[in-house]
Each structure stands twice: as C-alpha cells, then as structure tokens.
Amino acid sequence: MAAISKRLGALSVFSLLAGWAGTAGAEMALNFPEPAAGVAQEIYDIHMLTSAIATVLLVIIFAFVGYSLYYHRKSRGYRADQRFHETWFGQWSWIIVPILVLGIDLTIAGSAQKTLEKVWEVPKGEDLLDVKVIGHQWWWEYEYLDHSVEIDGKPKPVRVESRYLPEDQAGEDTAGYLRAVDNPLVLPVGKKVRFLHTSADVLHAFWVPELAVKKDAIPGYVTETWVDLTREGRFSGQCAELCGTWHSRMPIEVEVVAEAKFKAWMEGQKQTMLAAAAEAAMDKDWTMEELMEKGRANYNTKCASCHQINGKGLPPAFPALTGGAIVTGPIPAHLDIVLNGKAGTAMVAWNTLTDLELASIITYERNAWGNDTGDLVQPRDIKAARTLAVK
Amino acid sequence: MSTATIDLEHHGEHEHHGPPKGLKRWLFSTNHKDIGTMYLIFAFTMLFAGGLSAMAIRVELFLPGLQLLEPDLYNNLVTNHALIMIFGAVMPAAAGLANWMIPLMIGAPDMALPRLNNLSFWILPAAATMLILSFIVPFFPGGGTQINTGWTIYPPLSVQVGMSMDFLIFALHMLGISSVLASINIIVTIFNMRVPNMTMMRMPIFVWTWLVTAFLLILVIPVLAGGITMLLFDRHFGTSFFNAAGGGDPVLFQHLFWFFGHPEVYILILPSMGVLASVVPTFSRKPLFGYSSLVGAMIAIMIIGMVVWAHHQYTIGMSLGAVSYFMIGTIIISIPVGLMVFNYIATMWRGAMTFETPMLFAIGILLMFSFGGLTGIMLAVVPADMQYHDSMFVVAHFHYVLMPGAVFGLFAGVFYWLPKWTGHMYDEKLAKLFFWINVISFNITFFPQHFIGLAGMPRRIVDYHAMFTEFNVISSIGGIVFGLSHLLLLYIVIKTVRGGKQAENKAWEGAKGLEWELPSPPPFHSWTTPPKLAAS
C-alpha cells in the first residue's frame, strides 16, 4: 500500500485544489486515455463529437432558463404573459421543437452509424491475429489460436493465464495497485487482432480503455471484437461486468510490442509449454517434497483467490480447506470435486490442468496448513480418475 | 403524523361516519388519504434505508483499499441500494402522491377500489421485510452467500448465490403484485371517477402521467415476474432457461430484465414530471404551456420506451442491424422528452416567477435532468458506449436522471402539497436551506463520477486504482453530506405536521385545480358531492 499512502500524503485540501488547477493532476484523468488502436481513435472521435453537441445544447438550455430566471420574476415586477401559449410560437412549438430535436438526433445518429460500421464488425478476408479471451472467476485466460505447439501428438494453442498480483508480490515495474498481473497479454503492434470472448463460469467483460472495445464474456457464447494496434505500450484495464466477490481484482494488462519482440516472446512461451508438458508426461513417482513445492506454487496462483493462501477460505462462499471434510476425507471425493467442480457454486471443473498440476495441488491441500493426512497423490492417479470420469 | 391524525378525525366527525380509531384505522383503511399517507411514510423510511446503504458504499470508496466492507457485503449493498430506492422509496412515494392527489384532482370521493387499495399498500411492508431479509439472512449461520449480483441479478452469477436470492425473488414478486394492483386501481379511478365535464383532455397532467405510468406497470411487471420465476426454476427445479450448458441462454434473462427495466425508468420519472406540470404553472402564475403536446409526448415516451430496452446490453454481441436499431430508437426518445422539458421551460418563460421550495426543485430538475438526458444521448451512441458501458459514467448518468427526474420531483410534490395534506405551511427558510444543501451536495457527489468513468473506472467495484482517488474523495464527501441532508427534510416534514401557519384552501397564489378548492386538510371523504366544473 506504499503507493496509496504516498498519495494520501499529497491529498490535502490544498493539493486537491491544485489538482483542479492542473499542477498535480498529471495522473488525474478527466477523459478517455489516448487511444492505442485505430478503432479506439474512431470511438474517441465520436465521443468528443457527441460530448460537444451535448455541451452546446446544455449551454442553450441553461441560457434560456437563466434568462427567464433573471427577467421573468415577480420581484422585478414582471407581469406574466397569460397569452403566451396562444402566440404563433405557442400554437406551433409542438411541431417545431420535435423537428429541431430530430435534426440534432439525425446528426448524432448519422455520425454514430458511420463510426459503428467501421468498428463493430470484424473485417472479413484479412489476416488477423486471433486471441481467445476466456473470463474466469477471477482471472483471464488468453489463447493464441494462430500459434500452437504439439503435445501428445495434438496441437495445443499457446495459452497464457493472467492473474491479479497482490501488491506485496508485484514488482516495481508493474501497473500498480490492483492493476498488476503475473502474465500480461502480449500483442504485436501494427497488427489487426481479433478477440473472441467467452466465459468459463459467469458473465465478465473485457475492457481496456486504450483499446476502447468492450465486450461481454458469456458462457456458451463466443462474441468478437477487433482492434488495429497503432502504438506500443502497456495498457491496463479490468473486468467490467460484475462477476462476484473479486470482480474488482480481475485486472487486464495488454503489452503491445514490436513484431520481432512478439515473435521472440511467442517462441519463449512455446518452449515453456513444451518443457511443462514434458515434465508432466514423465512417468515417475514424485516425492512428497517435490509435489508440495509444486503444489504450493500452483495452489497459490490458481486456488488461493477463493480458498486463500492460508486455506481458511471466505465462508460461506468459499469453504475453508483447513481440516475440511473433503480435503481430509477419502481421496476419490477430493479428486472428483477438483476435476468436475460443484454445480451451483463458484467451484468450477479444473480438468484443464495437467495431471501433474492437479496431483501437486491435491497433495498440497491434503498436507498443508496442518491437514497432515500424509496422502501422496501421483499424476497417474489423476489420469485414472479422468478415465473414470469419461466412463 | 399524530396531529394530522387528530385533524383528519376532527374533519371526519362532520361526516356521517368518521374513521375508526387507533390501529384499525390504518390496518383496515380504505381511505385514499390515509393509504396515501402510509405510502409516503413507508417510502420515507425506505429512503433512509437505501440512503444508509449508499453512504456505506461511498465511505468504502472514499479511498482505494478495503477499509470498511468485505467485497461481498459491498456487492450486497450495491444490490440492496438500488432495489430499496427503486421499489421501496420512489415507486411507493409516487403511489402515495397518486393516492392522495388523484381523487382530489378529479373530484372523486375516494379511489374506485378502496379495498384493493388497502391490499396494494399492505403487501409492501411484507415485501420490504423479505427484501431486508435477503440482505441479512447471509449473516446467520447456514444463511448462504450474499447477493453479489447487483440489482440486475444476471444469471449465471445469480444462480451461484445462496438462499438470500430466493428471498429477493419472492420480494420482487410481491412488490410487483402490489404495483400492478395499485395500477389497476388508478386506471379504474381515472376512467370512471372524474367529475362531469372533466374530459380526458382536461385532466391535470399529473393524473395523465399516472395513467400512462399505470399502463406501463401493467405491461412490464409481468415480464419481470416471468424472468425471475424462470430464474427460480433454474436455481431449484433443474431447468436450464438461462444455462447454456443445458440449451438455455444467459442473455435471454437480460432481455427479459431490461424489457421491464427500461420502461421502469419512465415509471419512476413520469409521476415526477406530472408534479412539475402542477408546480411550474403555479409559481410562474401562467397557464401550462403545451398541454396536449405534453400528453402526446408522454404517450410517445411510453410506446418508444418499451421498444429500446437492449441499449442496456450493447456489449452482449448483437448484430450490427440490431444495435443500429436500438441506437436510433433510443436517440429518438429525446424528441418527446425534449418536448416535455421544453414545455416546462416555456411555461416559466414570460411568467411572473417566485421561488418557493417546490419551484426551486422544479428549476433544479429542469437543469439537471436535461444534463442527465444529454449524457443519455451520449450513452445511446453504440460505438461510444463500448467505452462508457459499465463504467462510473453510467452511474453518474442515471443518478442525474433519477435523482432530479424522480426523487427531486417527489420532493417538489411533497413541499407543494404538504400545506394541503397537513393544513400547515412548512418552514420556507428551512426548506430552502434543505434545497440548497441537497442540490449542491448531489452535484458534488455525482458530477465527478463522469470523469472517473471516462478515465476508466468500472462501476460496482469495491476497490479501485489510485488514479481515481481524487474524484472519489470529492464524491464521497458530497455523498455523506447529501445523505445526511435528508434528516433536515425529515425534520421539516415532522415540524409541518405538528404545526405551523394555517394553510388556506388555496395554499399558493398561482395555484389552479380542484384540489385547492377543498379545505386544508381536506375532509375525510374528499368530495362527497362532485364539484361543479364548467363545460369548456
């Protein structure tokens, strides 16, 4: 919270006033951030146009009311014009006013329609980088559909899991409080990108103000947006559709980099994935120490946002795992709830994790925080449970 | 309102049968004024309940970080604030005004269906109990999770919530039944109980607004009831209306909800716009400008307002054709709404204005509601909404529409008719003080939210990035003053009920209408013989 306390220090009434004057307000944004994509620029422009029209109309309304308030008052001895509604204006205003308003409406709607046609639909027949954006409670998953590695003879898209980093874990070089993530979404500049949005559980919405396009992630739907990235930089956003407890902790970080850098990054991701897959495929008996170490890391990134680092959960929404009936009870029931989730709760099926990840997490849960069951779950146990689930 | 009670009883004694004494008078009441009073007291109580939740929200948002509230409690309060304000405060308050004023304005002795009237009120406290239970049940062991969905209760999130969601669904059903019954009563009263010679086109605009509102309620409340019943079935009876995995559609709920939810905005606003049609001519000492165009405008609002609901859901991935339609439809609403605002400004124009509290609120409404309406046009523009959607800009927008458009209109109505109801003039100095504190702190609260919304702060978040700090601090300070200022309103109302300068029959110099021909307060049975109304 260091950044916040520093901010609080600067937050006297005086500095607030100074902020208004613009001296301390460098960071205090009043409007959309500078667009980082062509579509965002279009959206920025239509926003500025409608704001300008609205401001002019507001000034006109205020001027008429203000004039009337000043001149047409009894205390000035003004005598009410009882026949005002019978003048030609009074007789015809019911049609004059709607025509004027219609004119303004058509001006706005006409420009808006032009912008809409430019930004709404994904360009057809062009080379776009497809990124599938999957919302989870409460993290983001990005799949680069055009880039894959071969694992077990099947192509797997390169995927990135992006999670909120608590401030004590976030380094100096991050987007700051509530905005830091472990893995950003890396995209190449100058490229058209198509986002395919969907959700694994409840509604979420992908929103990065610099890219402007916002779209809901709906389970069972795939919705799409696209951007043509125009400048490099790191852009922060967050989930914009209320998705439950930690809705405020679903940051998005987009890192737009040069094409060459993107290629290098992508190559690195592929190597990491292959290495992880090779490790997971090793047919060996893992020791308790190895599984506990891997389990702690996996649990802390994937499970701790609900069940907490200390395993105490946040009852009643997120049950405690310390001494919990499932994590200290029979292993099959534990495997079942992790693999298949629990309907009607925030506990989703975690069957997309590898056998090794699941084995390490389950072993960790059964032995951490004084659970001390001594149970060791091996990746092959997970594999067996999966085949059971298929049957 | 003990003194008022005695006063009314006193007048009642002149009639053949006075009101029953004690609790029975209220519990079994079939009297439109008593029921109207109960509606208003109920709404006032709920205003404070909803206000407390809003103030808790603003305190939490004062600074970044989690200070006061757990995230789920925060989300629960966000849900609770909206539902209490909409269904508990604004709608019952408007119904209270309708109950009190419609019979007085159309020269009727009472509402057409007095027992139904009693039922539609007494469902409310039961429904409010359910609503409050939905808030507090999770605090008990085994009470399940808190309602962290917002008032829109979108599935699948609302399917995850524990039993408190069932309390909420039940409460919404009861609130809906109450509204539909009240609407039936109002429509029947307006169609059948007008004095001879009061044609439809001679009715006060307030009566017209309630006629349109009542029709809207009957048209859209059943759609909400259907949607939440399907939700209940999804939760407990294994259906998959809104579950994609079972062949259902999560977006369907949003369509059902907003098919109700958007007309609901007009349900909240129209009665207050009707109050303006009484207040503005009175204090401008000049006839209402454009009576028939106002009637036309509100019917147009009702019709167009029912076919533009999906502008609340531009981000769900509709086709280009669909969003274009909803955009243009929404922008077109500015024509009848603009005509309404224009007519009120034209009523002030070349009038001889004085600025008693109801008029101050009326002017405040015209200015701030216009502002809210203009940001509404900005929001209707689909490409720009891709940025605004679900940001604090939306929060600022709808508070600028609903506080002036609905709540300030109700305040104006309360101050305007308080002398008629109680027989006492309210304390004008205190009331003006209330107006200024209220309106200024309202603007301090909500104006900065436009900027943090544009800069990228989403709505419904318990914690935010430090770049939004300054405006949130300002907003929270305004919010606390705004919330507390309503204690002054409570004091003024109690003071007026207990005493004050005797109000004349016609409490305001420029007032016109049948309600000002009865004594202040009116006799227990308002018009026992219909007043004479000259043929036009």
Render pLDDT for B28-83 as a digit per residue (tens, 0 to 9): 999 999 999 999 999 999 999 999 999 999 999 999 988 889 899 999 999 999 99
d(CA B2, CA B298): 38
Q: Is the minimum CB–CB distance between A148 and chain B shorter than 8 Å?
A: no
Interface test with B, best of A117, A167, A247, A252 (most B CBs within 10 A): A247
Nearest CA of chain B to the CA of A22: how many Å? 12
Local confidence band at A24 (pLDDT 50, 70, 90 cut-offs)? very low
Supply the pLDDT for residue A25.
39
Written as six digits, the tokens of B205 are 């605009």
Q: Are A217 and A134 in contact (CB under 8 A)?
A: yes
- What's the pLDDT tens digit per position in B327-359? 999 999 999 999 999 999 999 999 999 999 999
The pLDDT, as a whole number, for residue A15 is 43
Residue A28 banded pLDDT, cuts 50, 70, 90? low
A157 backbone dihedrals φ, ψ, rounded to 5°: -65, 150
What is residue B285's predicted lDDT score, i.e. its pLDDT? Answer: 95
Give helix B250-284 / helix B392-402 axis angle, nearest 10°.
40
Q: How confident is the model at residue A195 (pLDDT cuts 50, 70, 90)?
A: very high
- Answer whether B62's CB lies under 8 Å from B473's CB: yes
Q: Which two tokens stand for residue B118?
A: 């009693």
Which residues of chain B are within 8 Å of residue A121 when distances are taken between CB atoms?
A: 320
| Paired strand residues for B492 | none
Is A165 in the B-facing interface, judged by CB distances under 8 Å? no
What pLDDT sits at residue B379?
A: 96
Reported as a single tens digit per residue, the pLDDT across A167-186 is 777 766 667 788 889 899 99
Q: Is residue A349 scored above 50 in pLDDT?
A: yes
Please compute, for residue B482, the number of CA atoms within 13 A of its CA located in the half-sphere on the CB side: 27
Contacts of A69 in chain B (CB under 8 A): 348, 353, 363
Whether A21 shows a pLDDT value over 70: the answer reads: no
Residue B184 sits at the vertex; the CA angle it makes with B178 and B189, to the nearest 5 degrees, is 125
Give the DSSP per-residue string, B481-523.
HHHHHHHHHHHHHHHHHH--SBPPSS-STT--SGGGGS-SSPP
Which residue in chain B is spatially nearest to A249 when comparing CA positions?
B463
Give which of A122, A208, A223, A248 to mutate to test B binding, by max B Cβ within 10 Å: A248
Residues 120 to 139 of B: which have CB under 8 A from any A CB?
A: 138
Please indicate if any CB of chain A lies within 8 Å of the CB of B48.
no
Q: Is A201 on the interface with B (CB under 8 A)?
A: yes
Predicted local distance difference test score (pLDDT) of residue A178: 87
Contact map slice: A 241-260 vs B, CB within 8 A = 241-249
Of B65, B293, B390, the CB nearest to A241: B390
Q: What string of DSSP letters covers A118-130?
A: HHSSPPTTS--EE
- In the prediction, which pLDDT does B512 show? 92
Range list of β-strands (E), B15-126: none
- Enumerate the residues of chain B whose CB falls inside 8 A of the CB of residue A167: none
Rounded to the nearest angstrom, the minimum Cα separation between B342 and chain A is 8
pLDDT given for residue A145 in this prediction: 95
Residue B456 distance to chain A (closest CA, Å): 6
Average pLDDT over residues A200-216: 94
Q: Is the dihedral of CA A369, A375, A376, A380 positive or negative?
A: negative
Considering CB atoms only, which of B249, B251, B289 is closest to A84? B289
Higher local confidence (pLDDT), B311 or A353:
B311
Average pLDDT for chain A = 87
Shortest CA gap B134–chain A (Å): 15
B150: left (phi over 0), alpha (psi -120 to 50) or beta: left
Say whether B183 sits in a helix, a strand or coil. Answer: helix
Give A247-306 pLDDT, tens digit per residue.
Answer: 999 999 999 999 999 999 999 999 999 988 888 777 788 888 888 988 888 898 888 888
Q: What pLDDT band is residue A11 in, cutting at 50, 70 and 90?
A: very low
With cut-offs at 50, 70 and 90, classify the pLDDT of residue A389.
Answer: low
Q: What is the 3-state secondary structure (H, E, C) of A319-335?
A: CCCCCCHHHHCCHHHHH
Ordered domains of chain A (ranges, CATH): 38-70+83-119 (no CATH), 129-277 (2.60.40.420), 282-390 (1.10.760.10)
CB pairs under 8 A between A and B: 312
Closest CB to B466: pick one of A75, A93, A177. A177
Lowest model confidence (mean pLDDT) among A197-211, A375-389, B187-201, B329-343? A375-389
CB-nearest to A112 from B343, B382, B470 is B382
Which pLDDT value is given to residue A341? 86
pLDDT along chain B (536 residues), means of 10: 44 58 89 96 96 96 90 94 96 96 95 96 96 92 89 93 94 96 97 94 96 97 97 94 92 96 96 96 95 96 96 94 96 96 95 96 96 96 95 96 96 96 95 97 96 94 92 96 97 94 92 92 89 84
Is the CB of B484 inside 8 Å of chain A's CB atoms?
A: no
CB contact under 8 A, A54 and B64: no
CB contact under 8 A, B353 and A176: no
Q: Please tell me the number of Cα atoms within 13 Å of A125 on its side-chain side.
A: 0
Pick the residue of A1, A12, A50, A239 with the most B CBs within 10 A to test the interface with B by mutation.
Answer: A50
Q: What are phi and psi of A174, to 5 degrees?
A: -130, 175
A46 close to B (CB below 8 A):
yes
For chain B positions 388-407, those within 8 Å of chain A (CB to CB) are 389-391
Of B315, B383, B462, the CB nearest to A115: B383
Quick one: pLDDT at residue A325? Answer: 83
- B530 in contact with A, Cβ within 8 Å: no
Taking each helix axis from N to C terminus, what angle separates B409-422 and B2-12, rounded to the nearest 10 degrees?
50
pLDDT for B16 equals 54
pLDDT in tens, A134-163: 999 889 999 999 999 988 888 999 999 999
